[in-house]
């Protein structure tokens, strides 16, 4: 039931709140499909959620764009600071971060308008059916790094139960491309509690769901 | 007059709003000294400013910690995406980004408590008078990357007039260490206007200043 409502909301361009689980980050993220990015939506994320605004891409899209994980870049650089690589966060997972990018059409990159543009342009590019070499060429030509949209790469729901994978699994179940925007919901000092995240979802007519609904068979 | 008030406020742990100038980003940042980082202060930045919460370090501290610019890492990696390196943003400057880090004592890294901890621990380390090798060793041992605090390295006010340099120049004039927290003030869709940033400062008893007060001789 929740799943049908969530996928229906996603397809209509709505937001969904996904709580990962008490055993993991104990955090809810506000998520929506990247094709519906708009300045108003970015404003909502920064005001109501408050975390880092990220764009999750599924493994196949990450590969077609030629995206490495951030930790791969750090390791390949061979600089002394490569030793600082995060192997596992405190809740047990490898980080999902790839590179931070801006679309070349932005000004500073951080405004609602600029962040929406960067996200929308990546979603557009990812939806193209181009040969891989052309895809990578366009990606490298149209975006630059460092920027203000933090790209994340999904490792597959069978391998990791982070918000990156949960939100991409929701897109997959909705029959949508693997390009999802997400942002952590914060409360004073700490993550917004499960209870308060659920109340926010109720107040705003959003579906609230738990990670296990997405990773359990 | 403004300068004296601003440096006095900074030393007392207060925030200052710095507008860079119409000819540059046309943006005001909320800034304060890193030694005064607290969960409440991070909450204010994410709610009232809304941009990316960054920690600016002056060149000397960056060197003592062994920090490269992010673009140096990208270039050294020799991966195809190294071609995406941002040479200059739309307003004409090279990016100030180094690496994003978390202190090892955090849980997710993104909460107000976690971000305040990471910032405070870097400010503490930077204030130590240790031999450079030990400094770098401790930095690499106590922090990991990727994380949620975006480190910026100042290029010196004589070379660049970005918020990174402006805010570090303010610290220097206040006789404080070159470790400053900053966050872009955003309005609906775009950067908060100069006028609205000034009103915010007035309402909250903060000094509002312009970049040129800091870079003009």
Q: Which of A73, A77, A113 sits opposite B189 (nearest CB)?
A: A113
Average pLDDT over every residue of A200-209: 98
Cβ atoms A65, A135 nearer than 8 A: yes
- Taking all residues of chain B, what is their mean pLDDT, rounded to a whole number? 96
pLDDT given at position B213:
94
CB pair distance less than 8 Å for A190 and B111? yes
**Cis ω for the linkage preceding B146 (within 30 of 0):** yes
- The neighbouring-strand residues paired with A208 are A17
Contacts of A81 (CB under 8 A, 6+ apart): A74, B66, B67, B68, B73, B99, B140, B145
Contacts of A204 (CB under 8 A, 6+ apart): A15
pLDDT given at position A1:
73
A·B CB contacts under 8 A? 163
What distance in Å separates residue A72's CA from the closest CA in chain B? 9
Q: What are the tens digits of pLDDT across the range A95-130?
A: 999 999 999 999 999 999 999 999 999 999 999 999
Give yes or no for residue B23 having a pLDDT over 90: no
Q: What are the tens digits of pLDDT across the range A2-51?
A: 999 999 999 999 999 999 999 888 999 999 999 999 999 999 999 999 99
A148 tagged catalytic: yes
Nearest-by-CA chain A residue for B144? A84
Cβ atoms B115, B46 nearer than 8 A: no
Which is the catalytic residue, given A20, A29, A169, A198? A29
Q: How many Å apart are CA A79 and CA B125, to the nearest integer?
A: 21
Mutate to test the interface with B, among A77, A121, A150 (most CBs of B within 10 A): A77
> In degrees rounded to 5, what are phi and psi of residue B184?
-65, 135
Contacts of B2 (CB under 8 A, 6+ apart): B207, B209, B213
Give yes or no for residue A92 having a pLDDT over 90: no
Mutate to test the interface with B, among A81, A92, A122, A163 (most CBs of B within 10 A): A81
Tell me the pLDDT band of A66, cut-offs 50, 70 and 90.
Answer: very high
Q: Which of B78, B90, B95 sits opposite A107 (nearest CB)?
A: B90
Here the ipTM equals 0.97
> In degrees rounded to 5, what are phi and psi of residue A13?
95, 10
Give yes or no for residue B217 having a pLDDT over 80: no
Mutate to test the interface with A, among B71, B98, B145, B152 (most CBs of A within 10 A): B145
Contacts of B67 (CB under 8 A, 6+ apart): A81, B57, B98, B99, B151, B153
Nearest-by-CA chain B residue for A105? B90
A54 tagged catalytic: yes
Under DSSP, is residue A103 helix (H, G, I), strand (E, B) or coil?
strand
Q: What are the tens digits of pLDDT across the range B45-80?
A: 999 999 999 999 999 999 999 999 999 999 999 999
| Residue whose C-alpha is closest to residue A150's, from A174, A122, A125, A188 | A122
Contacts of A202 (CB under 8 A, 6+ apart): A208
């Amino acid at each position: 039931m929740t799943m049908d409502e969530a996928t229906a909301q996603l397809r209509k361009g709505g937001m969904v709140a996904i709580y990962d689980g008490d055993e993991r980050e104990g955090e809810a993220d506000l998520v929506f499909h990247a094709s519906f990015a708009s300045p108003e939506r970015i404003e909502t994320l920064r005001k109501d959620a408050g975390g880092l605004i990220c764009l999750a891409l599924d493994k196949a899209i990450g590969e077609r764009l030629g995206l490495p994980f951030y930790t791969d870049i750090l390791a390949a650089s061979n600089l002394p600071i490569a030793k600082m690589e995060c192997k596992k966060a405190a809740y047990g997972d490898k980080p999902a971060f790839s590179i931070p990018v801006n679309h070349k059409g932005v000004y500073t990159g951080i405004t609602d308008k600029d962040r929406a543009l960067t996200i929308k342009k990546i979603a557009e590019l990812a939806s193209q059916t181009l040969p891989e070499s052309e895809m990578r060429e366009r990606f490298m030509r149209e975006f630059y790094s460092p920027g203000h949209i933090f790209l994340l790469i999904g490792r597959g729901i069978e391998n990791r139960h982070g918000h990156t994978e949960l939100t991409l699994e929701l897109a997959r179940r909705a029959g949508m491309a693997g390009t999802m925007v997400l942002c952590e919901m914060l409360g004073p000092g700490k993550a917004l509690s499960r209870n308060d995240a659920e109340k926010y979802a109720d107040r705003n007519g959003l579906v609230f769901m738990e990670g296990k609904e997405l990773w359990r068979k």
